Amino acid sequence: MNNLSDTITAISTPIGEGGISVIRVSGENTFQVVEKILSKSKESFKKINIGDISSHTIHFGYLYDGDDIIDEVLISIFKSPNSYTGEDVVEISSHGGVFVTQKVLGLVIKNGAVHAEPGEFTKRAFLNGRMDLSQAEAVADLIHAKTNEAHASSIKQLEGSLSEYVKKVREDLISVTALVELELDFAEEDLEFAHKKDLQKRAKSIISDLEEIISSYISGKVIREGVNVVIAGKPNSGKSSLFNALLKTERAIVSEISGTTRDYLEENLIINGILFNLTDTAGLRTTEDIIESEGIKRSYGRIKGADLIIFLVDSSASSEEIKLSIEYYDRNIKSDNSILVYTKADISSNEDIKKDNLVISINDINLLSELKKEMTRKVSTSLSAVKSDSIILTNLRHKICLENTVASLNNVIKSIDDNMSGEFISIDLRNALTHLGEITGSVTNDEILHYVFSKFCIGK
Amino acid sequence: MNNLSDTITAISTPIGEGGISVIRVSGENTFQVVEKILSKSKESFKKINIGDISSHTIHFGYLYDGDDIIDEVLISIFKSPNSYTGEDVVEISSHGGVFVTQKVLGLVIKNGAVHAEPGEFTKRAFLNGRMDLSQAEAVADLIHAKTNEAHASSIKQLEGSLSEYVKKVREDLISVTALVELELDFAEEDLEFAHKKDLQKRAKSIISDLEEIISSYISGKVIREGVNVVIAGKPNSGKSSLFNALLKTERAIVSEISGTTRDYLEENLIINGILFNLTDTAGLRTTEDIIESEGIKRSYGRIKGADLIIFLVDSSASSEEIKLSIEYYDRNIKSDNSILVYTKADISSNEDIKKDNLVISINDINLLSELKKEMTRKVSTSLSAVKSDSIILTNLRHKICLENTVASLNNVIKSIDDNMSGEFISIDLRNALTHLGEITGSVTNDEILHYVFSKFCIGK
């Protein structure tokens, strides 16, 4: 764990080859660290005094490691408190190779900075009051967004929509709590500032609002993480072919030999703005091939965790085989979240199946698009929620905070029903306030901070 | 092909998830394009007038797509000619997600920029005289550098070491050419400005210098691209195990079943500062498994292109099997660039083999390091060249230019021997000057530029 007095550094751009990489440095010694390695001349080391430079300006220079020039760079200067973290910050734009970027990072560390932990820059931004906790989480969501909906919901949260809502509810609760506690102070005078029935009504109204937001979480999860779809079925039912046809790529190796897919493959696919995380599984059968049976074991694991299962039956197989597959499906797979699909329509002569069922052929785009429609329909409740203007909860932590708030408020209602004394009511109200405050971080602790920021990438 | 009057844009940081991405915009309409989408307010669109802003400053703003905020960004302003390309440039630092970055790029394109081609920013920097051609190529080499040596040689080239050398030789040749051509102008007066024998001597001396640099190219290739090493051998000779042991990872799936590695795997490994590109191949045998035999076909392809082949023989196998393997090696593999290694020393009882040969066991670090030493020794001529201070040619294009220069100078020498007239000598001298000039781009054409910049990544 780094100390707040440490000057931290990390590569803030994605790792890989590109034109530019940015190495960020933040903390009280940032300028001293950079001045040790930054020269305005390539003939010999000539120090640049960052103290003499205005904030929010960019400067060309050479990075020196001893006598060697490591790179030509641009340096962006941000002076405290006007920076992302609120501290003194320098962003070094180096040439975007993996090796040279690591070399610059190493040089900065050698000269007094320590390597930043995941999310540590944003954590400092939060601790320095540059953003609240739900906005910090929105930064991570924005970076991970893969669809328009996920992007829009995280921008909304970054701009403070959830924060403002929570603030409003908290203010409401604080005024109620104040009344209850005022009454306690004047208990001997037997005054009743807070009419108990009014209090109950307000609590119930807040609960109903919160529950609506909590119920948006299912849609929110789909928006943020996508729908986990598993393509399953007996060996050679056409799983890899469908997987490829859906992805329009040759990602999976297709062959006519059963057991070609030894492990599972995973890819993302966006249909009608919904992110589907598609998994192709090893065929469901017993096998003596050690490697393949490891793959099958993993397949079962994937099916258990799926939001949607597409189960394939080869419509060109014998009636007996089809019957066995359907029995397997009915017994082990069938649910509200499963789709039964007959494959290989182009080489099947079984007209009965074609009449009554969802039948596809990877060579028939119209049939494939029927399947895509069915996949979208299964998650359509989520889809409609996306289109509304209300707040959508995408974050499990926020959901738990809101559920805890509701639980505390339910205790308030119960205490009033049971004619409990004001002290009990006050405790539950304060608990509700605490849980709400945990969303924006106005109430927080190390555990919450660790939970939130450990999900960040390094460099943010 | 974009026009020079187009305003170009691209994502300049590597593609992936990170804290920051940079979208670069360059060209005469850069500021107009950015002003259309950049707002100082998040309540409603409020234009920022970039004309009023100083160069090399950074500004916070909101990117608008119609009424929607797409991202909060930092904008770096570079005014012509003080930018990477020499044109007006804006660098947009967005949140570093794949989706949001693409969205910002799309927004910039929708508002009047066109997508940059690979290397187009650097190409404009060259065309605007911000760097010469060999320096531009050094930028690409720096980005692709994977070792200290590759990094150091590209920095040297970026700082102009090759350019300066070429300039010096060119000046030398220009003065010679001037003398020869002066003599032609006064041909009727029968003056001899350039003594033919002196001229030959100077040409020979330049050729000898150039040939020394050309001969550094073999080392240069190793520095820049690494040594392609293929691990080969009969099935179950321990290829994947050695591959993993060398990489200290579990990259390849290891099992006791022959044919586990169906395709080839490739990884980079740096030993003593030398980059080895390690390939694990499917076992060399005939097989009826269609997928595996495709892998074996590819293995043979890899062996043919290798700089170094490590051929493994299982020392725990029967004498007959070992004999067959050695025969195969002697017939098909053995060369100056091959190493014969006996594996599984720990379970072998064949003491004769252990005495006279390079024997390893993946569980014995000392034996492994013997193999690493042998690998390094095989390319040690390159290693010693790396340590010298002279120019090392890492670029095939430069090598060809220098070879063409030498060929032209050899023609000069031959023409003098054959008592040819000054016109012929002059033509060959001018050819030599042209070829030299192609290195730095003082002489150039579309074909050369296309060749150089098509190797760049997009965004540089």
Taking only residues 306 to 345 of chain B, the set having a beta carbon closer than 8 angstroms to any beta carbon of chain A reads none
Q: Is A147 on the interface with B (CB under 8 A)?
A: yes
Residue A15 neighbours by CB under 8 Å, 6+ apart: A98, A101, B14, B16, B18
Q: Extract the tokens encoding B232.
A: 């080969």
Q: Which residues in chain B are closer than 8 Å to A457, comparing Cβ atoms?
A: 17-19, 96
Q: Is B15 on the interface with A (CB under 8 A)?
A: yes
B91, B98, B257: residue with CB nearest A290: B257
Q: Is B70 on the interface with A (CB under 8 A)?
A: yes
Homologous superfamily of A8-131: Probable tRNA modification gtpase trme; domain 1 (3.30.1360.120)
A27 phi/psi in degrees, rounded to 5: 140, 175
Residue A135 pLDDT greater than 70, yes or no: yes
Closest CA to B314 of B301, B305, B304, B324: B324
Contact (Cβ atoms closer than 8 angstroms) between residue A132 and residue A437: no
User: E strand or H helix at B207, and its extent?
Assistant: helix B196-215
pTM beyond cutoff 0.90: no
Residue B191 pLDDT greater than 80, yes or no: no
CATH number of B229-383: 3.40.50.300
How much is the pLDDT for B382? 54
Q: Is B298 on the interface with A (CB under 8 A)?
A: no
Residue B289 pLDDT greater than 60, yes or no: no
pLDDT in tens, A387-400: 556 788 888 899 99
Residue B249 pLDDT greater than 60, yes or no: no
How much is the pLDDT for B169? 92
Residue of A100, A123, A268 best to disrupt the B interface, most CBs of B under 10 A: A100
CATH 3.40.50.300 domain locations along chain A: 229-383
Closest CA to A378 of A147, A216, A222, A220: A222
Residue A297 pLDDT greater than 80, yes or no: no
B439 phi/psi in degrees, rounded to 5: -65, -50
Cα A408 from chain centroid (whole Å): 27
Taking only residues 86 to 125 of chain A, the set having a beta carbon closer than 8 angstroms to any beta carbon of chain B reads 91, 93, 95-100, 103, 121
Alpha-carbon distance B92 to B72, whole Å? 10
Residue A253 pLDDT greater than 80, yes or no: no
Q: Extract the tokens encoding A427.
A: 């405790």
How much is the pLDDT for A389? 64
Contact (Cβ atoms closer than 8 angstroms) between residue B243 and residue B237: no
Alpha-carbon distance A167 to A172, whole Å? 9
Half-sphere exposure of B398 toward its Cβ, with a 13 Å CA cutoff? Answer: 28
The total number of residues shown for chain A amounts to 460
pLDDT in tens, B220-235: 877 777 888 888 888 8
With bands split at pLDDT 50, 70 and 90, how would you rate the model's confidence at A78? very high
Q: Is A257 on the interface with B (CB under 8 A)?
A: yes
Amino acid, res. B238: G
Q: How high is the mean pLDDT of chain B?
A: 85
Alpha carbon separation from B454 to A203, B118, B154, B220, B451 (Å, rounded): 66, 6, 18, 21, 6
Alpha-carbon distance A357 to B219, whole Å? 66
- Angle at which helices A446-453 and A396-417 cross, to 10°: 140
Q: Which residue in chain B is spatially nearest to A12 when comparing CA positions?
A: B19
Lowest mean pLDDT among A31-35, B308-312, B404-408: B308-312
Q: Extract the tokens encoding B346.
A: 């720990």
With bands split at pLDDT 50, 70 and 90, how would you rate the model's confidence at A295? low
ipTM (interface predicted TM):
0.77
Strand partners, A58: A76
How much is the pLDDT for B257? 44
Q: A235 preceded by cis ω (within 30°)? A: no
Residue of B59, B72, B95, B457 best to disrupt the A interface, most CBs of A under 10 A: B95
Please compute the mean of the pLDDT values over residues A134-162 and round it to a whole number.
88
Architecture category of domain A136-216+392-441 in CATH: Up-down Bundle (1.20)
A58, A69, A96: residue with CB nearest B56: A58
CATH 3.30.1360.120 domain locations along chain B: 8-131
Residue B410 pLDDT greater than 80, yes or no: yes
Contact (Cβ atoms closer than 8 angstroms) between residue A440 and residue A132: yes
How much is the pLDDT for A296? 55
Q: Which residues in chain B are closer than 8 Å to A152, comparing Cβ atoms?
A: 68
Q: What is the secondary structure of B213-246 as a DSSP string? A: HHHTHHHHHHHHH-EEEEEEESTTSSHHHHHHHH
Please compute the mean of the pLDDT values over residues B56-71 and round it to a whole number.
96
Residue A380 pLDDT greater than 80, yes or no: no
B17, B57, B158: residue with CB nearest A14: B17
Residue B360 pLDDT greater than 60, yes or no: yes
How much is the pLDDT for B302? 63
Contact (Cβ atoms closer than 8 angstroms) between residue B403 and residue B214: yes
Q: Which residue in chain A is spatially nearest to B260 when comparing CA positions?
A: A291
Q: If DSSP codes are grouped into helix, strand and coil, which group holds residue B311?
A: strand
Q: Is B150 on the interface with A (CB under 8 A)?
A: yes
Closest CA to A21 of A70, A69, A66: A70
Who has greater pLDDT, A351 or B62?
B62
Who has greater pLDDT, B208 or B306?
B208
